């Protein structure tokens, strides 16, 4: 399966409406931190992968714009796209390049500058991310709309309520309030969430992740280099990746994301995690809560809860610190923000810092097993990546 690969440096910009910086400056914010954190220079980076969805932002070739500004020329580069899972795709490519022995040190940077366009234009771009011709052109689905189709079906089958969905938002805002990098650093109540207006019934404004500018960067290295650079390499133990149909109409069930189930199966198998009881192996998880319903689906698709019981984890507050498994201690996409192609890299950066026990005390998970999980979904379950990170080197 190739060489072992470790994360040796991470960086994370402030997420939010970042009218104070342009795309290259925003990328540099996290790249600089990652270089400092790894203790390497640009000359040590052998290749860099840039994830960016774009469309709403002005630069069509973000990889070269960022490469020039960050002093990374003449290193090779590529821009990757897997919708909201682009960041995990960038990490996978960086990982695969090192694992296969083509390079020893690779940088993955995720960047999105969504606020360069007005909100209706951004809504348009994200709504087109599915099957443009058959499902957008005639029927004007939006991103909240796609997930609302899942929410309606899930609530109908399992008796979940809009209050239940709001409880996910309340938890993620609770931790977002403790994350200085988060877009929303204030707590909310179920009442405030229930009082927010509908965006795509049954989803309300407070069920939705915001439009966000942000960047995150991760430097990965081979075992030999990682050992020289740091005492706490964070090993990439497994990455599972899967896809599903572009047309939602081609799917048979709207209470689960098949691609996420498949990505989790692959990742658990490679990492030696019991798929029947994964939580016993994992200290902390970041899951793709682009909408509150998506976090509940994630619990079930990842096997944290049985089918129909993800909502119970929410009601019983089992995904706060001290519960069955703490989830989205960064605030998640919901409160930390969701700069589309930066999100996957942000998850990896956050979890590396969780495992190194470097995050703010109030949102630091107890690290006993030394294992963390990132669940990153692109589109409406169109792409899915599940990444397992670990303090212990994989036994192979």
Asked if residue 199 binds other proteins (CB under 8 A), the reply is yes
Q: Which two tokens stand for residue 222?
A: 């081979």
Three-state DSSP class for residue 131: coil
Nearer to other proteins, 19 or 307 (CB): 19
Q: Which of 301, 291, 378, 303 is nearest to 328 (CA)?
A: 291
Of the candidate spans 149-157, 158-166, 211-219, 341-349, the one that interacts with other proteins by CB under 8 A turns out to be: 149-157
Asked if residue 248 binds other proteins (CB under 8 A), the reply is yes
Q: Which of 344, 55, 72, 218 is nearest to 63 (CA)?
A: 72
208 is an active site residue: no
Minimum Å distance from CB 195 to other proteins? 15
Edge-first strand listing for the sheet containing 284-286: 76-80, 47-51, 105-113, 213-222, 5-12, 234-243, 383-390, 371-378, 284-286
Minimum Å distance from CB 254 to other proteins? 5
Sequential DSSP letters for 138-196: TT---HHHHHHHHHHHHHHHH---HHHHHHHHHHHHHHHTT-TT-S--S---HHHHHTS
Q: Which of 288, 365, 299 is nearest to 326 (CA)?
A: 365
Asked if residue 161 binds other proteins (CB under 8 A), the reply is no
Of the candidate spans 14-22, 45-53, 176-184, 284-292, the one that interacts with other proteins by CB under 8 A turns out to be: 14-22
Minimum Å distance from CB 247 to other proteins? 6
Nearer to other proteins, 89 or 200 (CB): 200
Which among 12, 95, 281, 338 is annotated as catalytic?
A: 338
Minimum Å distance from CB 291 to other proteins? 11
Asked if residue 379 binds other proteins (CB under 8 A), the reply is no
Which among 84, 166, 208, 290 is annotated as catalytic?
A: 84
Asked if residue 361 binds other proteins (CB under 8 A), the reply is no
Asked if residue 134 binds other proteins (CB under 8 A), the reply is yes
Residue 236: Cβ within 10 Å count:
26
Of the candidate spans 120-128, 211-219, 365-373, 385-393, the one that interacts with other proteins by CB under 8 A turns out to be: 120-128
Residue 132: Cβ within 10 Å count:
11
122/211 Cα distance (integer angstroms)? 8
Minimum Å distance from CB 136 to other proteins? 8
Minimum Å distance from CB 200 to other proteins? 5
The site for other proteins, by CB under 8 A, has a size of 43
Beta bridge mates, 374: 286, 387
Q: Which two tokens stand for residue 365?
A: 């998970």
150/338 Cα distance (integer angstroms)? 20
Minimum Å distance from CB 378 to other proteins? 19
Q: Which of residues 316-345 bind other proteins (CB under 8 A)?
A: none
Of the candidate spans 70-78, 85-93, 113-121, 214-222, the one that interacts with other proteins by CB under 8 A turns out to be: 113-121
Q: Which two tokens stand for residue 174?
A: 């609770």
Buried-exposed string 142-170: b where 16+ CB fall within 10 A, e elsewhere: bbbbbbbbbbbebbeebebebebbbbbbb
Asked if residue 54 binds other proteins (CB under 8 A), the reply is no
290 is an active site residue: no
Asked if residue 144 binds other proteins (CB under 8 A), the reply is yes
Q: Which two tokens stand for residue 165?
A: 């969905």
Which residues are catalytically annotated?
84, 338
- Footprint on this chain of other proteins (rule: CB under 8 A): 17, 19-20, 58, 118, 120-121, 123-124, 127-128, 131, 133-136, 138-142, 144-145, 148-153, 156, 197-203, 247-251, 254
């Amino acid at each position: 399966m190739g060489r072992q690969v470790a994360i040796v440096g991470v960086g994370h910009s402030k997420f939010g409406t970042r009218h104070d910086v342009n795309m290259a400056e925003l990328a540099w914010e996290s790249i600089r931190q990652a270089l400092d954190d790894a203790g390497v220079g640009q000359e040590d980076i052998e290749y860099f992968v840039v994830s960016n969805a774009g469309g709403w932002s002005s630069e069509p070739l973000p990889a070269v714009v960022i490469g020039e500004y960050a002093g990374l020329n003449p290193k090779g580069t590529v821009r990757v796209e897997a919708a909201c899972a682009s960041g995990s795709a960038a990490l996978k490519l960086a990982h695969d390049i090192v694992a296969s022995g083509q390079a020893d040190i690779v940088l993955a940077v995720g960047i999105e500058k969504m606020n360069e366009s007005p909100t209706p234009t951004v809504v348009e771009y994200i709504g087109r991310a599915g099957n443009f011709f058959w499902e957008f052109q005639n029927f004007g689905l939006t991103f909240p709309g796609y997930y609302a189709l899942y929410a309606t079906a899930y609530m109908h089958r399992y008796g979940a309520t809009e209050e239940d969905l709001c409880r996910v938002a309340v938890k993620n805002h609770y931790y977002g309030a403790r994350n200085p990098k988060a877009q929303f650093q204030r707590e909310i109540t179920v009442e405030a969430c229930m009082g927010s207006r509908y965006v795509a019934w049954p989803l309300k404004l407070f069920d939705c992740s915001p439009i966000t500018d942000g960047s995150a960067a991760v430097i990965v290295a081979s075992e030999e280099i990682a050992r020289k650079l740091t005492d706490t390499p964070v090993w990439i133990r497994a990455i599972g990746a899967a896809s599903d149909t572009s047309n939602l109409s081609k799917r048979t069930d709207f209470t689960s994301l098949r691609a996420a189930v498949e990505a989790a199966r692959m990742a658990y198998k490679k990492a030696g995690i019991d798929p029947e009881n994964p939580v016993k192996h994992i200290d902390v998880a970041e899951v793709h809560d682009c909408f509150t319903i998506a976090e509940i689906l994630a619990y079930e698709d990842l096997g944290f809860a049985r089918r129909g019981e993800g909502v119970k984890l929410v009601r019983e507050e089992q995904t706060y610190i001290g519960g069955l498994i703490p989830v989205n201690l960064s605030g998640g996409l919901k409160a930390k923000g969701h700069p589309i192609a930066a999100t996957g890299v942000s998850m990896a950066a956050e979890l590396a810092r969780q495992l190194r026990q470097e995050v703010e005390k109030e949102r630091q998970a107890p690290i006993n097993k030394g294992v963390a999980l990132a669940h990153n979904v692109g589109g409406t379950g169109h792409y899915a990546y599940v990444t397992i990170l670990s303090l212990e080197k994989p036994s192979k």
